[in-house]
Chains A and B, each alone.
Chain A
Amino acid sequence: MAVEDVSFEVRPGEFTVILGPNGSGKSTLLRLVLGLIRPDSGAVSLFGRPAHEFNDWRRIAYVPQVVEELSSNFPATVEELVSQGDYRGFSPTTIFRRRVSDAVLAAIATTGIEPLRRRRISELSVGQQQRVLIARALVRGPELLVLDEPVAGVDAGGQEEFYSLLQGQVGIGMAVLLVSHDIGVALREATTVACINRSLVFHGPPHAITGKELHDLYGLPIDILLHDDVHEHRHGHR
């Protein structure tokens, strides 16, 4: 999926939501940001370096969608999987290292999954698996956290806990970049919203989004109503 004419910045302590319908190029944008693919033209920079050359991996962390790999048969305990996030480059003795590092224990505590430590990840619910992936990302104390539709399949209560966890990280200065197709999430949680539909439709604080932009984004007039409704909800929420 091609994207063009997209230009914005993510700063420390900012919660940016990339909002767009399915097929809008959100995931492509995310792969560009992570340096997994190169742009045909233009530039993507991570901490001032071109994304595809970036190699200071401990400054960024990625949380993919809870995917099949997790729910199928992957043989790892929660502890083992979170420890993957503590990777510091090639070390030939990893297989013999049985001790769980303090950073791993801290991330497990932050995400509230201590009781699950020794469970196999395939036995967990989708919401619990998502927490494990977040813990895996937080282990290395990243400055930028990139998430792809992180709450797909997570129940409402789980989503609320999940976002308060993220807000806590933003509060201590982490930059969060989250891809979603959920307008409510963008309006409720973001400090900045980037609306994408092949190109950048809107970039700014969520309260500045108008019905016109959402119409451009989703092509449905019903979004105007939804927009007002969510705004009310948002004011009531705070």
Chain B
Amino acid sequence: MLNPLDFEFMVRALWGGLMAGALAPALGLFLYLRRLSLIADTLAHVAFMGVAIGLITNVFPVVIALISTVIAAASIEFLRSRRLLPGDAALAVFLYSSLAVAVIVIGFSDGFNADLFGYLFGSILTISDTDIWLLAGLAVITLGFVAVFFSELAQTSFHADLARTSGVRVDLINLGLAVLTGATITLSMRVVGVLLIGALIVIPVVAALRITTGLRQTIFVAMLMGMASSTGGLLIAFYTDMAPGGAVVMTAVGILIAATIWRLGATRKPQPQ
């Protein structure tokens, strides 16, 4: 049997998977609790537009995608906080307009379908050292943000007005969360792909919430589940030649099912009073 660690591309993919798997649910928990998990899908489509523009203009696709998602994230938060557009309307407008631009750009070109497929569905063969270092930098910033602003994030996701009347700068917390989500999605694209990255943001969180009690515990368990999903899925992809994005998400779904069964088993037992 092949040892995946003998292959340099696989070592890089696993590092990428570990970081993407940890970051996505760490941010995803707060998005999910505020019923904003759809922002991940929107930003993923914006990232896809950035990649398409980058591929056709031959300028670093990841950099263009990163800039696009950060600008989109900030704009969505601005429109929401100023009540210029309802939250879901802002998300829909950004999702479809960026997808439309991507479709137009792709229509003007031919010959980069293979690359584009890699971004859409994930492609462990194409993860570069630069991708890994960028992800590592983002991991430090994101985990630092979550740790340092833990109380503010918790209060904001529990009840925004309550947080405001405690002196929390809710608008800045939301902005930070949205921008870091955009960056995480962009840099995780190669591992799971644009179409499925939203799953890594939501599913480990839902799974963790099945079995945890407190917020600290939930974030920790969700990150572990995310890392297990991504590395497990990548290994399955390695041995079976499956598309890595699909394998990662199905592993996450498997963990969710296991957590749900565990929960059912736990609630069956008589509860001590």
**A interface residue numbers (CB < 8 A to B):** 31, 34-36, 55, 57, 60-62, 64, 67, 69, 73-77, 80-81, 84-85, 87, 89-92, 94-95, 118, 120
Q: A87-B166, A87-B167, A87-B168 are in contact. Are A95 and B150 (CB under 8 A)?
A: yes
Q: Which residues of B contact A69 (CB under 8 A)?
A: 33, 158-159
Q: List 22 A-B contacts (CB under 8 A).
A: A34-B161, A34-B165, A36-B161, A55-B167, A57-B166, A61-B165, A62-B161, A64-B159, A74-B158, A75-B33, A75-B218, A76-B215, A80-B214, A84-B162, A85-B166, A87-B166, A87-B167, A87-B168, A90-B149, A90-B152, A95-B150, A120-B213
Most buried by A among B146, B148, B212: B148
Chain B hits for A91, CB < 8 A = 151
Q: A55-B167, A62-B165 are in contact. Are A75 and B215 (CB under 8 A)?
A: yes
Partner of A89 from B150, B164, B167, B214 at Cβ < 8 Å: B167
Residues in B with CB closer than 8 Å to A120 are 213-214
- Let me know if B242 is at the binding interface, CB within 8 A: no
Q: Which partner residue on chain B sits nearest A76 by CB separation? A: B215
Q: For residue B126, which residues in chain A have a CB less than 8 angstroms away from its CB?
A: none
Instruction: Encode contact with A along B32-59: 1 for CB under 8 Å, 0 otherwise.
Output: 0100000000000000000000000000
Decide if B158 touches A76 in the complex (CB within 8 Å).
Answer: yes
A87 to B167 CA separation, bound complex (whole angstroms): 9
Contact B214 A76, beta carbon cutoff 8 Å: yes
Q: How far is the CA of A61 from the CA of B159 in the complex (A)?
A: 13
Give B173 Cβ to nearest chain A Cβ, in Å: 11
Q: Given the known inter-chain contacts A77-B214, A95-B216, please indicate yes or no for A57 contacting B167, CB distance below 8 A.
A: yes
Q: What are the residues of chain B within 8 A of A81 when measuring CB–CB?
A: 158
Main secondary structure of the interface of A (DSSP, over half): loop
- The total of chain B residues at the interface (CB under 8 A) is 28
- Which residues from B are CB-within-8-Å of A73? 33, 209
Chain B: minimal CB distance from A175 (Å): 15
Cα–Cα, bound, A95→B219 (Å): 11
Q: In the assembled complex, which residues on chain A have CB atoms less than 8 Å from the CB atom of B214?
A: 75-77, 80, 120
- Chain A proximity of B29: nearest CB distance (Å): 8
A31 vs B162: C-alpha distance in the bound complex, in angstroms?
Answer: 11
When distances are taken between beta carbons in the complex, the residues of chain A under 8 Å from B152 are: 90
Q: Which residue of A31, A57, A76, A94 is within 8 Å of B150 (Cβ)?
A: A94
Of A77, A84, A85, A89, chain B has the most CB atoms within 10 Å of the CB of A84
Set of chain B residues within 8 Å of A55, measured between Cβ atoms: 167
- Measured between alpha carbons, how far is A37 from B119 in the docked complex, in Å? 44
Contact A94 B159 (CB under 8 A): no
Q: Taking the complex as formed, is B253 at the interface, i.e. its CB lies under 8 A from any CB of chain A?
A: no
Residues of B within 8 A of A84 (CB): 151, 154-155, 158, 162, 166
